[in-house]
Amino acid sequence: MGSIVTRIFWAADSTVQTNDITTYPQTGIGQVFSLYTRDGVTVSNHAKNGRSTKSFMDEGRLAVIDEQIGEGDFLFIQFGHNDEKSEDPTRYTEPFTTFMENLETYINVARKHNANPVLITPLERRCFVDAKHLGMGAHSDYVAAMKQTAEKNQVPLVDLYSMSRSELKKAGEPDSRKWYMYFDEKLYKNYPEGKKDNTHLRYEGAVFYAGLIAKGLRELGGIYNDLLLDETKVNE
Protein backbone atom coordinates (compact mmCIF):
# COMPACT_ATOMS: atom_id res chain seq x y z
CA MET A 1 0.00 0.00 0.00
CA GLY A 2 1.61 3.29 -1.15
CA SER A 3 1.91 6.41 0.94
CA ILE A 4 -0.55 9.24 0.43
CA VAL A 5 0.76 12.06 -1.75
CA THR A 6 -0.33 15.63 -1.10
CA ARG A 7 -0.08 17.96 -4.08
CA ILE A 8 0.47 21.69 -4.20
CA PHE A 9 -1.00 23.17 -7.38
CA TRP A 10 0.37 26.62 -8.17
CA ALA A 11 -1.50 29.19 -10.30
CA ALA A 12 0.76 32.19 -10.86
CA ASP A 13 3.06 34.16 -13.17
CA SER A 14 6.74 34.33 -14.16
CA THR A 15 7.99 34.85 -10.62
CA VAL A 16 6.80 31.29 -9.88
CA GLN A 17 7.05 29.43 -13.20
CA THR A 18 9.33 26.47 -13.90
CA ASN A 19 11.95 27.52 -16.46
CA ASP A 20 13.97 25.58 -18.99
CA ILE A 21 17.27 26.25 -20.73
CA THR A 22 15.70 28.86 -23.04
CA THR A 23 15.25 31.22 -20.09
CA TYR A 24 18.28 30.13 -18.04
CA PRO A 25 19.32 31.29 -15.48
CA GLN A 26 15.82 32.58 -14.68
CA THR A 27 14.27 30.49 -11.90
CA GLY A 28 10.77 30.56 -10.44
CA ILE A 29 9.70 30.11 -6.84
CA GLY A 30 7.56 27.10 -7.71
CA GLN A 31 10.54 25.54 -9.46
CA VAL A 32 12.47 25.27 -6.18
CA PHE A 33 9.75 25.10 -3.55
CA SER A 34 10.18 21.35 -3.11
CA LEU A 35 13.44 22.17 -1.30
CA TYR A 36 11.20 23.10 1.64
CA THR A 37 8.56 20.36 1.48
CA ARG A 38 8.45 17.08 3.35
CA ASP A 39 8.40 13.65 1.72
CA GLY A 40 4.99 12.91 0.25
CA VAL A 41 4.37 16.48 -0.95
CA THR A 42 4.74 17.27 -4.65
CA VAL A 43 4.50 20.59 -6.48
CA SER A 44 2.44 20.76 -9.67
CA ASN A 45 3.54 24.12 -10.98
CA HIS A 46 1.11 25.64 -13.52
CA ALA A 47 2.57 29.16 -13.28
CA LYS A 48 3.34 30.79 -16.62
CA ASN A 49 5.24 33.87 -17.66
CA GLY A 50 3.12 36.97 -18.27
CA ARG A 51 -0.19 35.63 -17.01
CA SER A 52 -2.75 37.47 -14.91
CA THR A 53 -5.79 36.05 -13.11
CA LYS A 54 -7.71 36.83 -16.32
CA SER A 55 -5.38 35.48 -19.01
CA PHE A 56 -4.56 32.37 -16.96
CA MET A 57 -8.25 31.50 -16.97
CA ASP A 58 -8.89 32.59 -20.55
CA GLU A 59 -6.16 30.23 -21.76
CA GLY A 60 -7.74 27.27 -19.95
CA ARG A 61 -4.97 26.92 -17.38
CA LEU A 62 -7.31 27.03 -14.39
CA ALA A 63 -9.53 24.48 -16.15
CA VAL A 64 -6.59 22.05 -16.23
CA ILE A 65 -6.12 22.47 -12.48
CA ASP A 66 -9.87 21.98 -12.02
CA GLU A 67 -9.57 18.61 -13.77
CA GLN A 68 -6.60 17.42 -11.72
CA ILE A 69 -6.89 18.79 -8.18
CA GLY A 70 -8.43 16.60 -5.52
CA GLU A 71 -9.43 16.36 -1.89
CA GLY A 72 -6.67 17.35 0.51
CA ASP A 73 -4.57 19.05 -2.16
CA PHE A 74 -3.57 22.72 -2.02
CA LEU A 75 -4.02 25.52 -4.55
CA PHE A 76 -1.52 28.36 -4.16
CA ILE A 77 -2.86 31.47 -5.93
CA GLN A 78 -0.25 34.16 -6.58
CA PHE A 79 -0.99 37.00 -9.03
CA GLY A 80 -0.70 40.77 -9.36
CA HIS A 81 2.26 41.59 -11.61
CA ASN A 82 0.29 41.30 -14.83
CA ASP A 83 -3.19 42.14 -13.57
CA GLU A 84 -1.94 45.70 -13.15
CA LYS A 85 -1.00 46.12 -16.86
CA SER A 86 -3.76 48.58 -17.77
CA GLU A 87 -2.40 48.97 -21.30
CA ASP A 88 -3.21 45.32 -22.08
CA PRO A 89 -6.94 44.40 -22.05
CA THR A 90 -6.13 40.69 -22.34
CA ARG A 91 -4.51 40.78 -18.90
CA TYR A 92 -5.69 43.84 -16.99
CA THR A 93 -8.09 43.52 -14.06
CA GLU A 94 -9.34 46.31 -11.83
CA PRO A 95 -8.06 45.53 -8.32
CA PHE A 96 -11.23 45.96 -6.28
CA THR A 97 -13.67 44.44 -8.79
CA THR A 98 -12.53 41.99 -11.47
CA PHE A 99 -9.30 40.99 -9.70
CA MET A 100 -11.20 40.09 -6.53
CA GLU A 101 -13.90 38.30 -8.52
CA ASN A 102 -11.29 36.26 -10.35
CA LEU A 103 -9.56 35.30 -7.12
CA GLU A 104 -12.88 34.01 -5.81
CA THR A 105 -13.21 31.85 -8.93
CA TYR A 106 -9.85 30.23 -8.13
CA ILE A 107 -10.87 29.75 -4.50
CA ASN A 108 -14.11 28.08 -5.55
CA VAL A 109 -12.28 25.68 -7.86
CA ALA A 110 -10.23 24.44 -4.91
CA ARG A 111 -13.14 24.27 -2.50
CA LYS A 112 -15.47 22.32 -4.77
CA HIS A 113 -12.87 19.53 -4.72
CA ASN A 114 -12.33 19.81 -0.94
CA ALA A 115 -8.86 21.18 -1.63
CA ASN A 116 -7.25 24.01 0.30
CA PRO A 117 -6.82 27.43 -1.35
CA VAL A 118 -4.02 29.74 -0.19
CA LEU A 119 -3.64 33.31 -1.40
CA ILE A 120 -0.08 34.61 -1.79
CA THR A 121 0.46 38.32 -2.35
CA PRO A 122 2.76 39.26 -5.27
CA LEU A 123 6.51 39.46 -4.90
CA GLU A 124 7.82 43.02 -4.84
CA ARG A 125 10.04 44.25 -7.67
CA ARG A 126 13.43 45.85 -7.08
CA CYS A 127 11.87 49.30 -7.23
CA PHE A 128 14.65 51.27 -5.54
CA VAL A 129 14.71 55.04 -5.88
CA ASP A 130 18.32 55.15 -4.66
CA ALA A 131 20.87 52.82 -3.07
CA LYS A 132 18.97 52.43 0.21
CA HIS A 133 15.34 53.42 -0.32
CA LEU A 134 12.65 51.28 -1.92
CA GLY A 135 9.94 53.03 -3.92
CA MET A 136 6.21 52.47 -3.68
CA GLY A 137 6.03 49.89 -6.47
CA ALA A 138 2.83 49.14 -8.34
CA HIS A 139 1.30 46.26 -6.35
CA SER A 140 -0.28 48.02 -3.38
CA ASP A 141 -3.92 48.07 -4.57
CA TYR A 142 -3.70 44.42 -5.66
CA VAL A 143 -2.22 43.43 -2.32
CA ALA A 144 -5.04 45.23 -0.50
CA ALA A 145 -7.61 43.59 -2.77
CA MET A 146 -6.13 40.15 -2.17
CA LYS A 147 -6.19 40.69 1.58
CA GLN A 148 -9.85 41.76 1.38
CA THR A 149 -10.63 38.65 -0.66
CA ALA A 150 -8.89 36.44 1.89
CA GLU A 151 -10.85 37.99 4.74
CA LYS A 152 -14.18 37.87 2.91
CA ASN A 153 -13.75 34.23 1.91
CA GLN A 154 -11.91 33.09 5.07
CA VAL A 155 -8.90 31.92 3.07
CA PRO A 156 -5.39 31.80 4.58
CA LEU A 157 -2.96 34.32 3.15
CA VAL A 158 0.83 34.45 2.95
CA ASP A 159 1.95 38.06 2.63
CA LEU A 160 4.99 37.62 0.39
CA TYR A 161 4.67 41.25 -0.69
CA SER A 162 5.32 42.65 2.79
CA MET A 163 8.03 40.11 3.58
CA SER A 164 9.86 40.73 0.30
CA ARG A 165 9.70 44.51 0.73
CA SER A 166 11.18 44.14 4.20
CA GLU A 167 14.04 41.98 2.89
CA LEU A 168 14.72 44.30 -0.03
CA LYS A 169 14.94 47.27 2.32
CA LYS A 170 17.37 45.40 4.57
CA ALA A 171 19.55 44.31 1.66
CA GLY A 172 19.60 47.66 -0.17
CA GLU A 173 19.90 48.20 -3.90
CA PRO A 174 23.36 46.73 -4.64
CA ASP A 175 23.07 43.64 -2.43
CA SER A 176 19.58 42.72 -3.69
CA ARG A 177 20.75 42.38 -7.30
CA LYS A 178 21.87 38.80 -6.67
CA TRP A 179 18.26 37.68 -6.23
CA TYR A 180 17.02 39.03 -9.56
CA MET A 181 17.93 38.71 -13.24
CA TYR A 182 19.98 41.88 -12.97
CA PHE A 183 23.41 41.62 -14.52
CA ASP A 184 26.30 44.03 -14.02
CA GLU A 185 28.51 41.99 -16.32
CA LYS A 186 28.00 39.79 -19.34
CA LEU A 187 27.86 36.59 -17.33
CA TYR A 188 25.65 34.70 -19.74
CA LYS A 189 25.77 34.86 -23.52
CA ASN A 190 22.00 35.35 -23.83
CA TYR A 191 21.98 38.47 -21.65
CA PRO A 192 23.51 41.76 -22.77
CA GLU A 193 25.88 43.62 -20.51
CA GLY A 194 24.13 45.83 -17.99
CA LYS A 195 20.71 44.18 -18.43
CA LYS A 196 18.44 45.43 -15.69
CA ASP A 197 15.59 43.05 -14.93
CA ASN A 198 14.13 43.92 -11.55
CA THR A 199 11.22 41.46 -11.64
CA HIS A 200 12.38 37.97 -12.61
CA LEU A 201 14.47 35.82 -10.32
CA ARG A 202 17.62 33.79 -10.60
CA TYR A 203 18.21 30.67 -8.50
CA GLU A 204 19.40 32.48 -5.36
CA GLY A 205 16.33 34.70 -5.34
CA ALA A 206 13.87 31.92 -6.04
CA VAL A 207 15.22 29.87 -3.13
CA PHE A 208 15.26 32.91 -0.84
CA TYR A 209 11.68 33.95 -1.59
CA ALA A 210 10.43 30.36 -1.50
CA GLY A 211 11.80 30.33 2.03
CA LEU A 212 9.69 33.35 2.90
CA ILE A 213 6.58 31.55 1.66
CA ALA A 214 7.56 28.52 3.75
CA LYS A 215 7.91 30.87 6.73
CA GLY A 216 4.40 32.19 6.08
CA LEU A 217 3.01 28.65 5.93
CA ARG A 218 4.72 27.77 9.22
CA GLU A 219 3.07 30.78 10.81
CA LEU A 220 -0.33 29.59 9.58
CA GLY A 221 0.34 26.30 11.35
CA GLY A 222 -1.77 23.14 11.11
CA ILE A 223 -2.08 21.55 7.68
CA TYR A 224 -0.02 24.35 6.12
CA ASN A 225 2.95 23.73 8.40
CA ASP A 226 2.53 20.00 7.74
CA LEU A 227 3.54 20.56 4.11
CA LEU A 228 7.05 21.50 5.18
CA LEU A 229 10.21 19.80 6.30
CA ASP A 230 10.64 19.60 10.05
CA GLU A 231 12.91 22.60 10.52
CA THR A 232 14.54 20.97 13.54
CA LYS A 233 15.95 18.35 11.14
CA VAL A 234 17.04 20.70 8.35
CA ASN A 235 20.71 20.74 9.40
CA GLU A 236 20.97 17.09 10.41
| Residues carrying an active site annotation | 14, 193, 200
Distance CA 151, CA 201 (A): 30
- Residue 95: asked if its preceding bond is cis (omega within 30°), the reply is no
Q: For the chain, where are the alpha helices, taking DSSP H only?
A: 29-32, 53-58, 61-68, 100-112, 140-153, 160-176, 203-220, 222-225
Concatenating the DSSP letter of every residue in 86-127 gives: TT-TTT---IIIIIHHHHHHHHHHHHHTT-EEEEEPPPPP--
First to last CA, the chain: 29
